[in-house]
Structure 1
């Protein structure tokens, strides 16, 4: 993802809100609609893989509201929340807007309409609601489920003399496998932490192999003890991954999107913590490794007696702005964007693991079958429970920790203070 300076992003936001730019993306200008027109902001609708999804959703909505026009404005992702923040501050923006689950939407619920009364019929069909909920109220309808599987290359396992059908179950076994992999000229882990996002995936993908069940549940519930031995151990493992040479060279200067994923799918690394949907996921990797060579493993057990789980939440979801002229009609558009037929198209074209639990994705290959089965006993991702403020700080500290310029004790102390005030 292209990163712009803070000032450039603010300038683009200002131009967007004063009517400059295109309504079809790249800092699109279109703001709120009217009684017969709804404007949607997102970062997905402009992608070719989302075309069928958007068409299905618009057709479903037109059947319910034939007199209402829907306009999608695809914003660039690297500027999206800056643009959205400026729109919220002005009180003039889109009627319907896309969010990542977790801190990005929870930090902005004051600008959104609670949707519980409008989406009640969809509760049983859709999963992932918790990621779009704050203080008992739901602010978006989930479109996808997003999780963080540990993918592995079965071909590299075979080359290294490892059993591709039996990935390591403990951390010691994982380290032994890493030694074997490096002997055949590959890195053990493809890691991109240029954006500071690598630590988020690390925390969520490996956390269930370290934290006890009670510690895990307490973390999600907001009772986080950052200075506990097990929490510190997750960050110790992160530090060790650099010290022991498990990662690709220059992990802190490697972009996760999409350089680290490219290292994995090109066979230069045996493992990567990827995504369940969107990019860096099973469909992307299948194109290069083939479905038969792509494996999914659970978190290696570090703490004796713990049972690893698949970390997942609601991935992306659409919410409704408080300033929209007709919240009920806008909520109907959210229902169309989360309808079964629309989400079937999103799964088929983009490889998204849809929030709709009635859609069977298991036929897409062994990796998806493993993910689908793991969802049934999965738990919320640890990093999604954190505020965007704490996640930003954790990203910066993770880079320092990986470079050896800070200690684990210093990291958890700062994160504890940030989490307390978030």
Structure 2
């Protein structure tokens, strides 16, 4: 995968291969549902996309309806049940899209010209067909506070490479500064997803990792079990901030890291809980990015990432080609460059240059060259829900790792 995320003076993708033709004469309004268009950091991105689309379809009105994220998939489910709703809709990559692929239009004939420019397609694909075009790349870097490392006498330029070194360093940081090892928010049961994907490549063998992504998951594997043991041990041994199960991931937990109360956070590389957000509180040169510490000898640490968010087209849209062309505007180079510049999102466009954004963004971009899909994205939304509930019980001590593994295996089989 090309990962030089370079802006290189590119404009919007050429539309000479677009099959939309005179679509604007058939439909005069397109409605888009998402949870991003109402955010100030996305204003320039949406503006560029709308302008790009208007050049080719001046008679078509585009209406963005920003839905609250915590209700988004419920509202979308109701629309899908009714068989009517928005023409274009935003999805997280992975299970949320795949579980609803039957209501979406395959985009392959419309986005063929974008396949080499954009990365992250797999997260928006099912059974060999593409159902959404990626806007961002979403991954889970382990960020660390270099200032806390320095205060504890640790070398911020050489973060720990093994789990034992990591835990030892955390003990030194806590003694010197009072900061915990991890900033963890698991009120929604999402923290376990970050933990699994952020640390998993330091535990699983390369073969186990590939099998997991391919759907051949062995929940009886000692290495898979070890990830969930580490989750429980991190809570039992005080590596996490107090009240992890009652702290929201979005966005309460990020302030714990930003204010120096925790040395590490498994964050994001999109437009929240990421390098640019942290840079508003921490000097950019004090934000480190490290690979997963190795827990088992056969592990191969890598940056976990997939397509982050992407726009899809509803099957019920009156003019599929027109709606698909709007998706192409939403993934044009000009629009995605604006999203990166304003929001700090690592965009799906592999021609965007992030080298001027600081060392953390540069480290993330370098990691994409050898990065692998995030482990949690391979799971169904049903299994993710089960995992979230069990993760809370593991932290609270109301279930055991054995029982959790049995339930996860059963859910994954029926998933």
TM over 0.5: yes
Structure 2 partner of 1:314: 307
Structure 1: 4+ residue segments shifted above 2 A: none
1:207 to 183, 200, 203: 200
> Does structure 1 residue 95 correspond to structure 2 residue 87?
yes
Unaligned runs of 5+ in 2: 1-25
Distance apart, 1:279 and its partner CA: 0.8
1:244 to 200, 221, 237: 237
Structure 2 partner of 1:297: 290
Structure 1 partner of 2:368: 375
Secondary structure of the structure 1 residue equivalent to 2:281:
helix
The 2-side partners of 1:278 and 1:196 are apart by 20
Aligned residues: 389
Distance apart, 1:82 and its partner CA: 0.5
Matches for 1:262-341 after TM superposition, within 5 Å? 262-341=255-334
1:72 to 64, 73, 82: 64
**Per-residue deviation, residues 34-93 of structure 1 (Å, max 9, x unmatched):** 711100000000011111101100111111111111110011111100110001100110
Secondary structure of the structure 2 residue equivalent to 1:117:
helix
Structure 2 partner of 1:118: 110
> Does structure 1 residue 140 correspond to structure 2 residue 132?
yes
Distance apart, 1:278 and its partner CA: 1.8
TM-score normalized with structure 1 length = 0.91
Distance apart, 1:306 and its partner CA: 2.0
The 1-side partners of 2:311 and 2:65 are apart by 13
Secondary structure of the structure 1 residue equivalent to 2:110:
coil
| Superposition CA RMSD, Å | 0.7
**Per-residue deviation, residues 161-201 of structure 1 (Å, max 9, x unmatched):** 11100000000000100110110211111100111000000
**Per-residue deviation, residues 198-249 of structure 1 (Å, max 9, x unmatched):** 0000000000000000000000000000111000000000011011110001
1:259 to 252, 255, 259: 252
**Per-residue deviation, residues 139-162 of structure 1 (Å, max 9, x unmatched):** 000000000000000000001111
> Does structure 1 residue 360 correspond to structure 2 residue 353?
yes
> Does structure 1 residue 55 correspond to structure 2 residue 43?
no
Is the contact between residue 204 and residue 298 of structure 2 (CA under 8 Å) also seen in structure 1?
Answer: no
Distance apart, 1:351 and its partner CA: 0.5
Structure 2 partner of 1:175: 167
Distance apart, 1:305 and its partner CA: 3.2
Distance apart, 1:318 and its partner CA: 0.2
Is the contact between residue 206 and residue 298 of structure 2 (CA under 8 Å) also seen in structure 1?
Answer: no
The 1-side partners of 2:281 and 2:236 are apart by 30
